Amino acid sequence: MNTNIKTLGELKKSGYKPVSVKEEIRRNLIKKLKDKESTFPGIIGYEDTVIPDTERALLSRHNILFLGLRGQAKTRMARQMTDLLDEYIPVVEGSEVNDDPFNPLSRYAKDLIAEKGDQTPITWLHSSARYGEKLATPDVSVADLVGDIDPIKAANLKLSYADERVIHFGIIPRSNRGIFVINELPDLQARIQVSLFNILQEGDIQIRGFKVRMPLDILFVFTANPEDYTNRGSIVTPLKDRIESQIITHYPKTIENSLLITEQEADIHDEQVAKVQIADMVKRLIEQVSFEARNSEYVDKKSGVSARLTIAAYENAVSAGERRAIINKEKDTQVRIADLQAIIPAITGKIELVYEGEQEGPLQVAHNLLDKAIRTLFATYFPNPDSFKKKKAGGPVENPYRSVIQWFDKGNSVQLLQDISDKQYETTLSKVEGLKELIKASFPKVNNKEALLLMEFVLHGLSAYSLISKKVVENETRFSDLLGTMMNFSLGGDAEEPEE
């Protein structure tokens, strides 16, 4: 469309024909589908579920309710709908409610067109400005959403309160000819939700006692968390009945999708990218923590575990490696398994615990989730230690972990300090007899850095399977024999480093 058009007369001559916002979105969506363009780029894991549901709802010209737990990209989906709008649309210049020059709604636009006719000034509104959003909170009023009488406007214009021009429009009328989103709809008081009935059904608003009825042209998108239905509020039934499509969102169903989301969303500084490498195995461990949390008996499933947990955890893990490299004046390093202690703050702040979890404490629950993630992933890289526990002594299958466990059984221990240099890290791990040989047998083609990480992973994995002991104290992770640790604990002492 020619955005150089400045008057109503020029717009008429151009052959422009206005359509409703839902028709406009439908038309542009059809074009994208025909051209096989991505309709919601960057939304991962919804390709076969939420996105097709949303496309069908938009083709049906429906208002939409996204229903799902926190961190499921509900608001992001809504915001991306602006990409389905025309780039520019004409509006009456100076209009507060984006009046269509051919179908004006407000008294201001009607009077202006009556006065100036074809010389009525036209301005062009970009698609990015055709989006309104409001977070529903208990203090939101009808005046905020719909509008009210403005006494200051009445005084300045010397108008009676009965004059339509004294109306101050709320955020919904100001979103006319666009998309309007209400986030966390159940948090809106029931009496405020009632004020939306007419807007959704008849498409018009009423303000105070004015006879004026303004048929608004808006695509409404609502978001809600099922938890809210019982904990804080609910969507009143007649309102829910007026929202034509309710779409259920979900968390990533696979580790692969979860990895893609985290890499896409994590804000890693350029200096960190250059200095810190993070192995695929460590990335998967971080993702596995969120999967373990969603299945944990200690975590409230109604509240959910946001994708923000793994994003924040990933950033913390990289920063842990960077901090260590700075302290040791190293040019580069890699994220170690022990560095994942740094993700504990990202876990504790993003999980809601049930009563049993509160008794355990958020810190202990976070450590348990990390250990469970290590246990789950360990069996995908190495033989499952449980399978060797069941073998009789002298059986046909040799336990690949025997030499490592026996080394600890002799009273040896490994102390990994959080901030030791890469050289000290290698020296410490190399002390464990049989560890390097185990890695070479399982992964013959890995380089030295990868081998060291796998060596450390074996120690954490054997600990997760209760074959050796692991004790984390502040900036130290100590591995020792399981029986010796238990005996020492029963005597009330602290494990001591054996003499070499």
CATH of domain 8-248: 3.40.50.300
Q: Average per-residue pLDDT in the chain? A: 88
Question: What's this model's pTM, rounded to 2 decimal places?
Answer: 0.85
State the alpha helices, DSSP H only, in 328-421. 344-348, 355-360, 362-381, 385-389, 402-409
Q: How far apart are CA 424 and CA 414, in angstroms?
A: 12
* Extended strands (E) in 258-349: 276-277, 333-334
Sequence ranges of the domains in the chain: 8-248, 255-381, 400-491
Positive or negative, the Cα torsion across 388, 282, 303, 54? negative
Summarize pLDDT for 170-224 with one digit per residue, the tens: 899 899 999 999 999 988 888 888 888 878 877 667 776 666 677 889 999 999 9
DSSP letters, 420-460, are: --HHHHHHHHHTSTTHHHHHHHH-TT--HHHHHHHHHHHHH
For range 419-440, the mean pLDDT: 94
> Exposure pattern of 148-165 as b/e (b: 16+ CB <10 Å)?
bbbeeebeeeeeeeeeee
CB-count burial class (<10 Å; 0-12, 13-18, 19+) for 36: exposed
Distance of CA 13 to the CA centre of its chain: 47
Element (H, E) at 123: strand 122-126
Q: What is the pLDDT of residue 488?
A: 44
Q: What is the pLDDT of residue 230?
A: 42
Asked if residues 405 and 461 have their Cβ atoms less than 8 Å apart, the reply is: no
| pLDDT above 90 coverage of the chain, percent | 70
State the alpha helices, DSSP H only, in 296-361. 308-327, 344-348, 355-360
Please tell me the CATH superfamily of domain 255-381, with its number. Magnesium chelatase subunit I, C-Terminal domain (1.10.8.80)
Q: How far apart are CA 132 and CA 432, in angstroms?
A: 61
CB-count burial class (<10 Å; 0-12, 13-18, 19+) for 96: middle
Summarize pLDDT for 68-108 with one digit per residue, the tens: 998 999 999 999 999 999 999 999 999 999 999 999 988 88
